[in-house]
């Protein structure tokens, strides 16, 4: 069995240097030496003994990525393109730093405690967190954690987004294009959640134009392809609106499909704006006007921030809010303003 000492002897460095490169703590090692060590590791087939390392250092170099929003459709979290892009960014930085990722959907406090008691995780990245007993227990435990897409408590490390501004610019754009009856479609709205912020932006834009919010224009449903398409078919039965703000591109694409099934065309009959600017926005028909955010970069920054807290870096930030902007494509038509 190949050991760190074998690698060190083959390269001509100390075992400590090899160990530092493996763990990602290679700031004092030249790029050429790092490349030589990694190449020798591959050639000799060395595999790190993570359990032994954990016993010695009290560090597993494993970060848990926890989804607290349990998808109703089988495999929904993993199949959702937003979370796929987010996980790609997280995994990239963890890999660069010599950490490993454990992905888990957790519904209850007992599941969270079981995970922490049975796995020596160095840190946690969590999505879908709202004020609840789950969050109360989370902040009591000692494992470093960071929240993504949450507005629960300012004092905890988190990576957020200009969600309210995103809802505002999406709705404002539709208003500027002449639309006055605009539906809001997204997952259920929770207090101190992402959708609440986007909804507040939607309301702000309408208020600037003196337009009241109609309760029947607010649709909340768990996002999935079947549900989104079904919503599109349902919305096709209404003729009292001209535009939709969908709070996720996958939802917008499903709505477009459902509208098409019932003979309504985008943007000729209904205009729609999405949110995220994922790949699906560029391959939908028509291509989707949407609010752009860099999802993969958010995942990367979240992992970077968490590791800084794990390693007690003096440069560890507490909060990052990433920007958004509108991308115009073909899913919105300009219409003549019909003032009442």
Write down the domain spans for the chain: 4-48, 62-160+295-322, 163-293
- How buried is residue 164: exposed, middle or buried, by Cβ count under 10 Å (0-12/13-18/19+)? buried
330 Cβ contact list (under 8 Å, min separation 6): 267, 286, 287, 289
Cα Rg, the chain, nearest whole Å: 24
Which is nearest to 246 in space by CA: 287, 307, 198, 206? 198
288 Cβ contact list (under 8 Å, min separation 6): 249, 252, 253, 256, 272, 273, 274, 280, 281, 282, 329, 331
Which is nearest to 51 in space by CA: 62, 60, 43? 60
Q: How are beta strands 319-322 and 271-276 bridged, if at all? A: unpaired
Going through the chain in order, the beta strands assigned E by DSSP cover 62-67, 100-105, 123-127, 145-148, 158-161, 182-186, 218-220, 243-246, 271-276, 289-292, 319-322, 325-327
pLDDT given for residue 339 in this prediction:
60
Name the CA dihedral angle for 214, 220, 226, 228, rounded to a multiple of 10 degrees: 50
Class of domain 62-160+295-322: alpha beta
SS3 263: coil
pLDDT given for residue 70 in this prediction:
52
Q: Which residues of the chain have pLDDT under 50?
A: 51, 54-56, 72, 74-75
Cis peptide before 329 (omega within 30 of 0): no
Distance CA 325, CA 173 (A): 11
pLDDT given for residue 271 in this prediction:
98
Question: Do residues 99 and 134 make contact, with C-beta atoms less than 8 angstroms apart?
Answer: no
User: How long a stretch of residues is the chain?
Assistant: 340
- Architecture of the domain made up of 4-48: Orthogonal Bundle (1.10)
pLDDT given for residue 315 in this prediction:
63
pLDDT given for residue 50 in this prediction:
53
- Token output for 99: 């950490």
**Taking the CA of residue 116 as centre, how many other CA atoms within 13 Å lie in the half-sphere pointing to its CB?**
20
pLDDT given for residue 24 in this prediction:
64
Question: Do residues 100 and 84 make contact, with C-beta atoms less than 8 angstroms apart?
Answer: no
pLDDT given for residue 72 in this prediction:
47
240-277 as b/e: b if 16+ CB within 10 A: ebbbbbbbbbbbbbbbbbbbbeeebebbeebbbbbbbb
User: 4-48 and 163-293 share one CATH topology?
Assistant: no
pTM of the model as a whole: 0.80
- Architecture of the domain made up of 163-293: 3-Layer(aba) Sandwich (3.40)
- Token output for 152: 């629960």
């Amino acid at each position: 069995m190949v050991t760190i000492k074998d690698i060190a002897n083959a390269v001509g460095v100390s075992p400590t240097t090899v160990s530092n490169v493996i763990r990602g703590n290679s700031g004092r090692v030249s790029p050429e030496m790092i490349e030589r060590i990694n190449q020798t590791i591959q050639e000799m087939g060395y595999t790190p003994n993570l359990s032994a390392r954990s016993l010695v250092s009290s560090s597993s170099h494993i970060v848990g990525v926890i989804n607290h929003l349990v998808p109703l459709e089988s495999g929904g979290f993993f199949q959702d393109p937003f979370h796929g892009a987010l996980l790609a960014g997280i995994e990239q930085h963890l890999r660069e730093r010599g950490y490993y990722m454990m992905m888990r959907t957790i519904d209850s406090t007992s599941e969270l405690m079981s995970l922490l008691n049975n796995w020596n995780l160095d840190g946690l990245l969590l999505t879908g967190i709202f004020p609840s007993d789950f969050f109360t227990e989370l902040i009591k435990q000692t494992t470093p954690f960071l929240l993504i897409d949450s507005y629960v408590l300012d004092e905890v490390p988190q990576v957020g987004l200009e969600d309210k501004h995103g809802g505002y610019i999406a709705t404002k754009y539709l208003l500027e294009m002449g639309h006055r009856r605009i539906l809001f479609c997204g997952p259920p709205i929770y207090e101190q959640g992402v959708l609440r912020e986007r909804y507040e932006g939607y309301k702000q834009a309408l208020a600037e134009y003196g337009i009241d919010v109609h309760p029947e224009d607010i649709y909340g449903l768990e996002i999935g392809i079947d549900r989104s398409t079904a919503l599109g078919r349902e919305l096709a039965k209404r003729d009292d609106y001209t535009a939709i703000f969908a709070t996720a591109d996958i939802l917008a694409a499903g709505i477009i499909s459902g509208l098409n099934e019932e003979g309504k065309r985008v943007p000729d009959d209904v205009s729609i704006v999405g949110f995220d600017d994922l790949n699906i926005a560029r391959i939908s028909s028509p291509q989707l006007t949407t609010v752009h955010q860099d999802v993969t970069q958010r995942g990367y920054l979240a992992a970077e921030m968490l590791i800084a807290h794990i390693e007690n870096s003096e440069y560890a930030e507490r909060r990052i809010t990433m920007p958004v902007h509108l991308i115009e494509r073909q899913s919105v038509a300009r219409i003549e303003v019909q003032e009442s």
